[in-house]
Amino acid sequence: MFEYCADPSTLSGFDWWSCYLTTGKHFSFYQSFGTVLTLLALTVPLILVFGFAGALARRSRVLPVRWFGLGYTSMVRGVPDIIFFLFALIALDQGIEYLRHLVLCPDWTEPIRQGNDFRVCPQAKMPLGSSPQWVHEVYGFGLATVGFAIVFGAFAANTIFGALEAVPRAQLETGAAFGMTPRQIFWRIHLPQMWVYALPGLSNLWMILIKATPLLFLLGVEDIVYWARELGGSKTTRFAYPHGDWRLGYFIGLLVFYLALTWVSERVFERLTRRVSRGQASLGGAVT
């Protein structure tokens, strides 16, 4: 980074630190904070989509759709989320490869499950074996995003379902009395009023989501935990910047990052709650 960093072995004190903290690997580490924030930014809309789909499915008049919604929303309560991540990721991966296999190689005769192996034709591999490293990384990250969205979508569906139920009936009946169509009632009355009931649950879910992001590491994405372990591990004198086992220090850094993220989120949700309860005939609404 700096010119005087050319020969690290001659450095000490502040110079050493300024060089140590600006190595290429450290920049990858700093970028991985962006990876985590990107994951959060990408999953939230997806989670809301899955959540609404699940909640609406549970309210559907069609019985099989309702069962599906009920199954989806109740699955997360009984089973640890990490198991869902591990399962959903491999299942998605294999499912995509299997579908591509069916389309791309119709004349492939060998069975796909050969004993302990899962074999599809080379053209159906996702991503292709010949594609560059970054494609593999982006694909893995995309799969993880979808996995997060499926699992947390189920939590969100529970919350949104409860919030939709909690909107006072009289409000909807008033809409009907004005001659609104069911669609108008949903969009103009039901949905806007739902948020005040959904917000406590959704803010709780956001906190859980933040705290689930280190699981990315378990799913094989090079996230902050990966880099903290990589950089913190003891380095012998063969390395440019030798040091002992500093993993504890790096992890305390991560701890501070998460504490800051939680603290900021709490402040934001406080303001949001005040915003959505404006004009509501409740304790919170009456205050403002």
Partner 1 sequence: MSCAETIWDYGLRAIGIGERLLPKADITLCEQIVLIGSGMVWNLYFAVLALFLGFFLAIAVALARASENGWARVPAQAFIFVIRGSPLFIQFFIAYESFVLIPKLGVDINLGFVEITAETRWLTKAWLGALIVLFLNTSAYSAQIFYGALMSVPKGDIEAAEAIGMSPFRRFRRVIFPSMLRLAWASYTNEAIFLFHATSLVFFSSFPAWRQKGDALYYANYFADKTFNPFVPYPIIAVYFVVFTVLLIAVFGLVNRRLNRHLKHQR
CB 98 within 8 A of CB 80: no
* 108 lies in the binding site for partner 1 (CB under 8 A): no
| Least distance from partner 1 to the Cβ atom of residue 111, Å | 13
In the complex, minimum distance from the CB of residue 102 to partner 1, in angstroms, rounded to a whole number: 18
Would you say 191 or 254 has its CB closer to partner 1? 254
The Cα 205–Cα 271 span in angstroms is 17
| Interface of this chain with partner 1, residues 236 to 265, rule: CB under 8 A | 245, 247-248, 251-252, 254-255, 258-259, 262-263
Q: Is residue 213 near partner 1 by the rule CB under 8 A?
A: yes
Please report how close the Cβ of residue 215 comes to partner 1 at its closest, in angstroms.
Answer: 7
Counting contacts by CB under 8 A, is residue 282 touching partner 1? Answer: no
State the amino acid at position 152 in one-letter form.
F
Q: How far apart are CA 123 and CA 129, in angstroms?
A: 9
Contact between 267 and partner 1 per CB under 8 A:
no
Tell me how far apart the alpha carbons of residues 111 and 115 are, in angstroms, rounded to a whole number.
10
Three-state secondary structure of 130-199: CCCHHHHHHHHHHHHHHHHHHHHHHHHHHHHHHHHHHCCHHHHHHHHHCCCCHHHHHHHHHHHHHHHHHH
Using the rule CB under 8 A, is 121 a contact of partner 1? Answer: no
The strand pair at 113-114 and 117-118 is best described as antiparallel
Pick 34 or 249: Cβ nearer partner 1: 249
Nearest approach, Cβ of 174 to partner 1 (angstroms)? Answer: 31
Residue number, 155 or 193, with CB nearest to partner 1: 155
Omega before 127 within 30 of 0, i.e. cis: yes
139 interacts with partner 1 by CB under 8 A = no
CB of 118 to partner 1, least distance (A): 5
